[in-house]
């Protein structure tokens, strides 16, 4: 048998039909659904008189629109349009008989945090959702990617996707990380190297000692941002860390099925002599705490660097950099550590898990945020929130001057009331620093949770290693 | 879905690289539960000021580009969010074709589902079309999907590649779901086999 990559193996195990030109029907094991990209898909089913093909494999949770403030069970807290979207998801979940976690359920949260937490996401699966950050689930060695609403409807109706295979790319992070360097810094550094289009047409497998040493939370952070490098999906081969995380989760296999599953999962790795279409290797020791200066995730630099000038780039990036600097209100040559911050946001499907909150709390313990700083923590799920309260993290955040919110996507994409105002500058643990992403003319610097906490204390982008 | 037919239309230049789907349709317009009516909000934050007045120097606001049906864009067009509201907004505006050196994967897929044709061309040909688009409303290009050709206002012909299956679906206005349901037997057979191989799924 010819050697295969991890991606090849998962792909081969899910092809339900292959046409002569290589167009495949890929079978989907888990379909996650949220309120923003699904209403038109359910409406399409209804108009065609179709059913959901596999409701038992379909899981819905409202996350993008929901308020994160107390009393949100009362729908009046939401603007009318948001209320209609969430109500539509309520109705569709009931009518089509799919699994559902409403805001009143403690298990509600960001769809990409809820899936793994409940054991819906397992190694070797295919997972899709009408959300680009579905890549997150690749951390389990499952082939996971975002789809558009037409494809949501296609999966609902057929449990398959029409796909052609992507190419294989390997990103290896060798050696050890330095203190203060986290998964977020790794992935920002990778995107800084490849650019936001560098992964287009590929599925990326992240490997190497520094990746192996990451927890599941850290691995999810890395895979979450595979899409920011343009890749269809990110993958990390499952190992004992993965199995330990999955074991005992509500929807994980049990007993004899658990043994059978683990036996198969242990075959899910790239063969030594597998073919790679592209390879990138980065030394873990060379990665520093990393921040973005511009309006694309590829605008990532070590915190010790200075703001670049448009002339430092070539081609179309020169004009893009000029536009970014103008939008961000930054001057070339200034130190990144001189950039003053108004707001800190800790949360999102990138960095809203328990380990992220622990890392931030570690920096904040016994300290206060800078006067005038607006700081908020939005746990990724109700269960993350409850655990953080039990561990005393919530008290640390509150005593430091952070708002302690309810779970949701919140200021990562600012569809709910958590938004930046014009010119407001935010150190954010989210995944996109696009123009207007966190609010009209708001300015976003992407950072790790520890770096976000450090910025909250000093009021500037700060090298967490110097605190 | 409507059939994709040969047409002649105005091409607008958008040379900025990495135009993301947040730029194409900002989040406040994702709260709709419909597919239609988003054209007026396409490129909202570039196209209008805070009071809702048009920004005069934004390309689609210029008199000669108001009827644009072809965008000639910088690298990596449509990156970021998977929101299909982006192609919905473009289609509702009247865009039928986007030309670039590269597209983000999800946006690229989403276009085909909405009867739009994204065309990937090498840099020098995108440059040629960009220069043609800069001419304004006299720059009427013709896009012929059957022949896989774009003809510029000067009569220059640029050939392009397109996936054969997707071309077939666009030309015939075919519904993906209907096509897939014709293969229900294959799907059922796969489910039977997978249930034995991986009963825990």
Q: How far is CA A211 from CA A185, A431, A449, B87, B146, in A?
A: 12, 19, 18, 36, 47
Domain identity same for A195 and A246: yes
Facing residue for B45 by CB, picked from A81, A132, A435: A435
Give the range of the structural domain holding residue A151, as residue numbers without chain letter.
6-163
Domain identity same for A156 and A194: no
Residue written as tokens 């800790």?
A346
**Residue A175 contacts B, CB cutoff 8 Å:** no
Report whether pLDDT(A104) > 80. Answer: yes
Bridge-based pairing state of the strands B140-144 and B117-120: unpaired
Residue A62 lies in a domain: yes
* Per-residue pLDDT at B139: 79
Question: Does residue B78 contact residue B20 with C-beta atoms inside 8 Å?
Answer: yes
- Walk across the sheet containing A233-235 and list its strands: A233-235, A202-207, A167-174, A278-283
Percent of chain A predicted with pLDDT > 70: 100
**Residue A190 contacts B, CB cutoff 8 Å:** no
pLDDT band at A46 (very low <50, low <70, confident <90, very high): very high
Which is nearest to A114 in space by CA: A97, A124, A126, A127?
Answer: A127
Query: What confidence tens digit (pLDDT) does each residue in A398-437 have?
Result: 999 999 999 999 999 999 999 999 999 999 999 999 999 9
Domain identity same for A275 and A351: no
Report whether pLDDT(A75) > 90. Answer: no
Domain B7-174's class?
A: alpha beta
Q: Which residues of A touch B199 (CB under 8 A)?
A: 257, 260
- Tell me which chain B residue has its CA closest to the CA of residue A45: B177
CB contact under 8 A, B23 and A37: no
Residue A328 lies in a domain: yes
Residue A293 lies in a domain: no
Q: Considering its fold, how many domains does chain A have in total?
A: 3
**Of A123, A148, A163, which marks where a domain is finished?**
A163
pLDDT band at A237 (very low <50, low <70, confident <90, very high): very high
* Per-residue pLDDT at B61: 97
User: Which alpha helices (H) appear in B28-175, and where do they start and end?
Assistant: 44-47, 85-93, 105-112, 123-133, 164-172
**Of A163, A186, A212, which marks where a domain is finished?**
A163
Q: What is the nearest CA distance from A33 to chain B, expressed in angstroms?
A: 13
Determine the distance from the C-alpha atom of residue A43 to the mean position of all C-alpha atoms in its chain, rounded to a whole number.
28
User: Which alpha helices (H) appear in A49-110, and where do they start and end?
Assistant: 80-96
What value does the mean pLDDT take over residues B51-60?
96
Domain identity same for A341 and A253: no
Residue A60 lies in a domain: yes
Q: Which residues of B touch A151 (CB under 8 A)?
A: 109-110, 113
In angstroms, how far apart are the furthest CA atoms of chain B? 63
What are the DSSP calls for A177-189, one per residue?
PPTT--HHHHHHH
CB contact under 8 A, A25 and B187: yes
Query: What confidence tens digit (pLDDT) does each residue in A316-360 have?
Result: 999 999 999 999 999 999 999 999 999 999 999 999 999 999 999
Residue A291 lies in a domain: no
Bridge-based pairing state of the strands A24-27 and A30-33: unpaired
Residue written as tokens 């590269």?
B102
Q: Which residues of B touch A195 (CB under 8 A)?
A: 76
Which is nearest to A117 in space by CA: A102, A101, A94?
Answer: A101
pLDDT band at A1 (very low <50, low <70, confident <90, very high): confident
299-338 in A: which are within 8 Å (CB) of B?
A: 315-317, 319-320, 323
CB contact under 8 A, B187 and A159: yes
- Domain coordinates of chain B in residue numbers? 7-174
Q: Which residues of A touch B113 (CB under 8 A)?
A: 148, 150-151
Residue written as tokens 């209907």?
B178
Taking the CA atoms of residue B190, residue B195, residue B198 and residue B201 in that order, the dihedral angle to the nearest 10 degrees is 100
Q: How far is CA B33 from CA A60, A78, A400, A427, B85, in A?
A: 16, 16, 40, 32, 10
CB contact under 8 A, B165 and A19: yes
**Of A163, A189, A218, which marks where a domain is finished?**
A163
- Tell me which chain A residue has its CA closest to the CA of residue B127: A316
Facing residue for A196 by CB, picked from B76, B82, B177: B76
Question: Does residue A428 contact residue A446 with C-beta atoms inside 8 Å?
Answer: yes
CB contact under 8 A, A25 and B186: yes
- Tell me which chain B residue has its CA closest to the CA of residue A39: B33
What value does the mean pLDDT take over residues A194-219?
98
What value does the mean pLDDT take over residues A81-100?
96
Query: What confidence tens digit (pLDDT) does each residue in B78-119 have?
Result: 999 999 999 999 999 999 999 999 999 999 999 999 999 999
Which residues on neighbouring strands pair with residue B117, listed in sequence order? B97
Q: Which residues of B touch A23 (CB under 8 A)?
A: 163, 165
Domain identity same for A221 and A157: no
Sequence-distant (6+) residues with CB within 8 A of A237 are: A6, A141, A205, A207, A268, A269, A270
Residue A292 lies in a domain: no
Domain identity same for A123 and A62: yes
Q: What is the nearest CA distance from A82 to chain B, expressed in angstroms?
A: 6
> How crowded is residue A306: how many other Cβ atoms within 10 Å of its Cβ?
15
- DSSP 3-state assignment of A19? coil
Question: Does residue B21 contact residue B79 with C-beta atoms inside 8 Å?
Answer: yes
Which is nearest to A270 in space by CA: A208, A358, A360?
Answer: A208
- Tell me which chain A residue has its CA closest to the CA of residue B79: A230
Length of chain A equals 467
- Tell me which chain B residue has its CA closest to the CA of residue A201: B105
Query: CA A307, A220, B81: angle at the middle one, nearest 5?
Result: 65
CB contact under 8 A, A147 and B106: yes
Q: Which residues of A touch B181 (CB under 8 A)?
A: 157-158
Q: How far is CA A123 from CA A26, A62, A145, A247, B197, in A?
A: 16, 25, 14, 12, 14
ipTM score of complex: 0.95
CB contact under 8 A, A25 and B74: no
Structure-block tokens of residue A411: 């200021």
Residue A125 lies in a domain: yes
Structure-block tokens of residue A34: 């949220």
Q: What's the rounded Cα separation, in Å, for the pair A370 and A363?
A: 14
CB contact under 8 A, A149 and B84: yes
Residue A294 lies in a domain: no
CB contact under 8 A, A434 and B106: no
* Per-residue pLDDT at A402: 98
Chain A and chain B share a number of CB contacts under 8 A equal to: 193
Query: What confidence tens digit (pLDDT) does each residue in A356-383 have?
Result: 999 999 999 999 999 999 999 999 999 9
pLDDT band at B2 (very low <50, low <70, confident <90, very high): confident
Query: What confidence tens digit (pLDDT) does each residue in B121-156 have?
Result: 999 999 999 999 999 777 799 999 999 999 999 999
Q: Which residues of B touch A27 (CB under 8 A)?
A: 187, 190-191, 194
- DSSP 3-state assignment of B74? coil
- DSSP 3-state assignment of A1? coil
Which CATH number covers residue A420?
3.30.499.10
Query: What confidence tens digit (pLDDT) does each residue in B154-177 have?
Result: 999 999 999 999 999 999 999 899
Q: Which residues of B touch A147 (CB under 8 A)?
A: 82, 106, 109
């Amino acid at each position: 048998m010819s050697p295969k990559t991890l991606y090849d193996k998962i792909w081969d195990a899910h092809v339900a039909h292959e046409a002569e030109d290589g167009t495949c029907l890929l079978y989907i094991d888990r379909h996650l659904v949220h309120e923003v990209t699904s209403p038109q898909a359910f409406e399409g089913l209804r108009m065609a008189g179709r059913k959901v093909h596999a409701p038992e494999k379909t899981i819905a949770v409202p996350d993008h629109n929901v308020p994160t403030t107390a009393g949100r069970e009362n729908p009046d807290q939401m603007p009318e349009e948001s209320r209609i979207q969430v109500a539509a998801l309520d109705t569709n979940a009931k009518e089509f008989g799919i699994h559902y976690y409403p805001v009143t359920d403690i298990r509600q949260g960001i769809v990409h945090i809820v899936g793994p937490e409940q054991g819906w996401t397992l190694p070797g699966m295919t997972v899709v959702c009408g959300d680009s950050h579905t890549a997150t689930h690749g951390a389990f060695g499952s082939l996971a990617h975002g789809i558009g609403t037409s494809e949501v409807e296609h999966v609902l109706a057929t449990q398959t996707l029409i796909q052609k295979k992507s190419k294989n790319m390997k990103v290896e992070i060798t050696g050890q990380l330095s203190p203060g360097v986290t998964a977020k810094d790794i992935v920002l550094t990778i995107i800084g190297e490849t650019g936001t289009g560098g992964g287009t047409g590929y599925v990326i497998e992240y490997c190497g000692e520094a990746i192996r040493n990451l927890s599941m939370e850290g691995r999810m952070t890395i895979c979450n941002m595979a899409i920011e490098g343009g890749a269809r999906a990110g993958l990390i081969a499952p190992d004992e860390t993965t199995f330990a995380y999955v074991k005992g989760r509500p929807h994980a296999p049990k007993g004899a099925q658990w043994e059978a599953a683990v036996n198969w999962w242990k075959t899910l790795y790239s063969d030594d002599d597998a073919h790679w279409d592209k390879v990138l290797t980065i030394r873990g020791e060379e990665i520093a705490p990393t921040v973005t200066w511009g309006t694309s995730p590829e605008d990532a630099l070590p915190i010790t660097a200075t703001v670049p000038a448009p002339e430092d780039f070539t081609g179309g990036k020169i004009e893009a950099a000029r536009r970014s600097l103008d939008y961000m209100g930054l001057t070339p040559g200034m130190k990144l550590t001189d950039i003053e911050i108004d707001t800190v946001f800790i949360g999102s499907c990138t960095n809203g898990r328990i380990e992220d909150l622990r890392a931030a709390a570690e920096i904040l313990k016994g300290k206060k945020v800078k006067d005038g700083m607006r700081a908020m923590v939005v746990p990724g799920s109700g269960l993350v929130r409850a655990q953080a309260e039990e561990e005393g993290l919530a008290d640390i955040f509150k005593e430091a001057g952070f708002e302690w919110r309810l779970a949701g996507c919140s200021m990562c994409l600012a569809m709910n009331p958590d938004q930046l105002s014009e010119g407001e500058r935010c150190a954010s643990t989210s995944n996109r620093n696009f123009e207007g992403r966190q609010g009209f003319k708001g300015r976003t610097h992407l950072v790790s949770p520890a770096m976000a906490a450090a910025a909250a204390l000093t009021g500037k982008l700060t090298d967490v290693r110097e605190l | 879905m409507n059939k994709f037919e040969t047409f002649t239309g105005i091409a607008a230049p958008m040379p900025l690289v990495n135009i993301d789907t947040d730029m194409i349709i900002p989040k406040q317009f994702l709260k709709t539960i419909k597919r239609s009516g988003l054209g007026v909000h396409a490129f909202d934050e570039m196209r209008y000021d805070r009071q809702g007045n048009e920004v005069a120097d934004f390309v689609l606001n210029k008199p000669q580009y108001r009827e644009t049906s072809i965008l000639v864009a910088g690298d990596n067009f449509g990156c970021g969010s998977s929101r299909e509201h982006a192609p919905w907004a473009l289609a509702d505006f009247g865009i039928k074709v986007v030309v670039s050196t590269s597209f983000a994967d999800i946006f690229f897929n989403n276009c085909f589902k909405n009867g739009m044709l994204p065309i990937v061309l090498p840099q020098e040909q995108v440059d040629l079309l960009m220069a043609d688009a800069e001419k304004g409303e006299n720059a009427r290009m013709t896009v012929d999907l059957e022949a896989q050709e774009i003809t510029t206002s000067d009569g220059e012909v640029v050939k392009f590649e397109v996936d054969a299956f997707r071309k077939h679906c666009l030309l015939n206005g075919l519904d993906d779901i209907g096509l897939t349901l014709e293969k229900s037997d294959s799907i059922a057979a796969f489910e039977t086999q997978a249930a034995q191989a991986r009963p825990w799924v």
